[in-house]
Structure 1
Amino acid sequence: MKIIVPMAGRGSRLRPHTLTVPKPLIPIAGKPIVHRLVEDIASVINRDIEEIAFIIHKDFGTQVEKDLIAIAEKLGAKGSIYYQEKPLGTAHAIMSAKESMTGPVVVAYADTLFRADFTLDTTADSVIWVQRVDDPSAFGVVQLNDKNEITDFVEKPKEFVSDLAIIGIYYFKSGETLRAELQYLLDNDIMKGGEYQLTDGLENMKLKGMKFVPGKVDHWMDCGNKDVTVETNSRMLNFLHNDGKNLVSDTVTLENSTIIPPCYIGEGVVLKNSTVGPNVSLGDNTKVADSTIKNSLVQTNAVITNAQLDNAMIGNHAVFNGKFTAVSIGDYSVLE
């Protein structure tokens, strides 16, 4: 089994944090989004992962590439790096990794996390992960027949046709078949809105009689902007806490301070005269003094003093000293 992860977009809605770090490497409960994503996929498909192919932009840099290769190797897989230089749509992005599209493959967009408890139907030609949503008009949705097979893909329906939204994770029994269908779109310049769309390839596959079934997830968590990323961090902390995971490092220094779970507290964190939690992630080597922090995501090596933070997101090496609350501070920023 191979996993293909298109992630060449920089994540403009999550600026300033994504000015220095690609969105899929933003940590959620102490682990990069993309790392959690591929781990969760591996647990659902319950098969050995041979390769994880990451599709990035060349300007992400060598350190990002090394970090991604390390994520793959932690799952016992080969890590591969491909580049998409122009944003020409979902099909174009996937085809940037066409050399890795052999055998069974999972395609997963690296801006979403999920929790699911189902067994992958490997007899189907394709499984498309979906989640029920309150407002289907904002999503691409699928329609099912009485055999629980997908009969139609509808992009942002103006009238109700289904509430099963496509979350951006797909299984294909044959990577070669997917590659051929997407190559057909590129060769014949079949575009919508100036982009090559994966759904056009899926529609062609369905018309040829291929079987599509839904993989329904229990929880779908977005990481599109600061507020929903902080919320996703809180939700993931609660899931991990309820799973019995220990999220607080043994190297934390506590001086007249309290941690209210669930919290992720990284290596070398120092807390003085502070209350942290619930729903807080503090990255490695962060220092907090005379502060109260809840429902917030703080990355590594930050320094926070005299703060009352709620729904905050603070980047690596940032310095914050003040009375503001719902802040969003990027890497190396100073506010004091």
Structure 2
Amino acid sequence: MKIIVPMAGMGKRMRPHTLTVPKPLIPIAGKPIVQRLVEEIAKVSDEKIDEIAYIIGDFGKDVEEQLGEIAVNLGAKSSIYYQKEALGTAHAIYCAANSLTGKVIVAFADTLFKADFTLEADADSVIWVQKVEDPSAFGVVKLDAMNKITDFVEKPQQFVSDLAIIGIYYFKNGDNLRDELKSLIDNDIRVNGEYQLTDALENMKNKGLIFKPGQVIEWMDCGNKDATVHTNQRILEYHKNDDLVCGSSHQENSIIIPPCYIGENVEITNSIIGPHVSVGANTSVCNSLVRNSIIQRHSNLENLNLENSMIGNHVDIHGDVTELNVGDFATLSK
């Protein structure tokens, strides 16, 4: 089994954090988004993950090495492909054409999920879906009485279904997908200037391939600051029975209200942390109250009353503030 991860987007809605770090590498409860994504996929796959192919932009050698480590830790080969121009979902996946063979899972790296099922062996493809209140913002699927997908509709303006495609797809034969993506690009079939994956899926269905839905327990978005902080909260809840406080961290005259992730060499003094807080390695928090927030690595926080916040790496903040969205290398004082 191969996992294809398109992640070349610029993550504009997650700025300022994505000015220095690609969005899929932003940590959620101590692990990068993309790592949590591929680990969750591995759990629902009965087969060994042989390769993880990442489609990225010009992210640099350090990022590529980090992605490689994520693959190696799952016992998989790492492959890197580049998307130089944003030309749609179909184009992004086709950038990894050389890896689109055999059994393939395609997972866009801006979402996390929890699921309690295994892939159906009799389906040519499984499309992960979730019910949503406003389907007009998503690609959706329609089902027949046999629970097979009959239609793919991109951002319907009139109601046709509330089953939104969450961005994770299984294909029994990746060669079929590769051929359909190539056909779209060779024939320059675009919607609003972009090559759409749903067009390729529709063509495959019309050729007789069987598509079935995969229902998830929960779908968690990482599209902006508030959504990412909420996803951090939900992931911490799922892991609340795990030991999330690293042994090298130190607390003095402080209280940690679980669930919280406390990274390596974190120093917490005269503070109350939690619930639902993640603190990255080598960060110090002093004389502060922090709730429902993500604080990344090598930062220094003092005299804060903080909640629903996202703090980057190498940040220094001193003063009485309640909600922040601060990227890397910032300094704030009051």
Aligned to 1:273, which of 270, 290, 293? 270
Question: Quick one: which amino acid aligns to residue 116 of structure 1?
Answer: A
Task: Tell me if 1:310 matches 2:329.
Answer: no
Partner of 2:108: 109
For normalisation by structure 2, the TM-score amounts to 0.99
Partner of 1:34: 34
Partner of 1:141: 140
Equivalent pairs, count: 333
Q: Please report how far the alpha carbon of residue 122 of structure 1 lies from its aligned counterpart in structure 2 after TM superposition.
A: 2.3
Question: Quick one: which amino acid aligns to residue 127 of structure 1?
Answer: V
Partner of 2:199: 200
Partner of 2:157: 158
Q: Please report how far the alpha carbon of residue 137 of structure 1 lies from its aligned counterpart in structure 2 after TM superposition.
A: 1.7
Query: What CA distance in whole angstroms lies between the structure 1 residues aligned with 2:54 and 2:76?
Result: 12
Partner of 1:20: 20
Question: Any stretches of 5+ residues in structure 1 without a counterpart?
Answer: none
Q: Report Cα offsets for 1:107-135 as digits up to 9, x if no partner.
A: 00000000000121122111000011111
Query: What CA distance in whole angstroms lies between the structure 1 residues aligned with 2:155 and 2:96?
Result: 27
Q: Please report how far the alpha carbon of residue 154 of structure 1 lies from its aligned counterpart in structure 2 after TM superposition.
A: 1.3
Verify the 8 A CA contact 2:140 2:161 in the aligned structure 1.
yes
| SS of aligned partner of 1:92 | helix
Q: Please report how far the alpha carbon of residue 46 of structure 1 lies from its aligned counterpart in structure 2 after TM superposition.
A: 2.3
Partner of 2:4: 4
Query: What CA distance in whole angstroms lies between the structure 2 residues aligned with 1:36 and 1:318?
Result: 25
Question: Quick one: which amino acid aligns to residue 10 of structure 1?
Answer: M
Question: Quick one: which amino acid aligns to residue 223 of structure 1?
Answer: C
Task: Tell me if 1:54 matches 2:54.
Answer: yes
Partner of 2:68: 69
Query: What CA distance in whole angstroms lies between the structure 1 residues aligned with 2:188 and 2:213?
Result: 29
| SS of aligned partner of 2:146 | coil
Q: Please report how far the alpha carbon of residue 269 of structure 1 lies from its aligned counterpart in structure 2 after TM superposition.
A: 0.5
Partner of 2:215: 216
Task: Tell me if 1:235 matches 2:228.
Answer: no
Verify the 8 A CA contact 2:153 2:198 in the aligned structure 1.
no
For normalisation by structure 1, the TM-score amounts to 0.98
| SS of aligned partner of 1:312 | strand
Partner of 1:191: 190
Q: Report Cα offsets for 1:133-180 as digits up to 9, x if no partner.
A: 111122111010011000011122222221111000000001111000
| SS of aligned partner of 2:157 | coil
Query: What CA distance in whole angstroms lies between the structure 2 residues aligned with 1:52 and 1:7?
Result: 12
Question: Any stretches of 5+ residues in structure 2 without a counterpart?
Answer: none
Query: What CA distance in whole angstroms lies between the structure 2 residues aligned with 1:161 and 1:89?
Result: 23
Query: What CA distance in whole angstroms lies between the structure 2 residues aligned with 1:61 and 1:122?
Result: 38
Relative to structure 2, which stretch is displaced further, 153-162 or 326-335? 153-162
Q: Please report how far the alpha carbon of residue 197 of structure 1 lies from its aligned counterpart in structure 2 after TM superposition.
A: 0.6
Query: What CA distance in whole angstroms lies between the structure 1 residues aligned with 2:205 and 2:187?
Result: 19
Question: Quick one: which amino acid aligns to residue 42 of structure 2?
Answer: A
Partner of 1:171: 170
**RMSD of the TM alignment (CA)?**
0.7
Q: Report Cα offsets for 1:189-240 as digits up to 9, x if no partner.
A: 1111101111110000010011000000010000000111001001110111
Moved over 2 A (4+): none
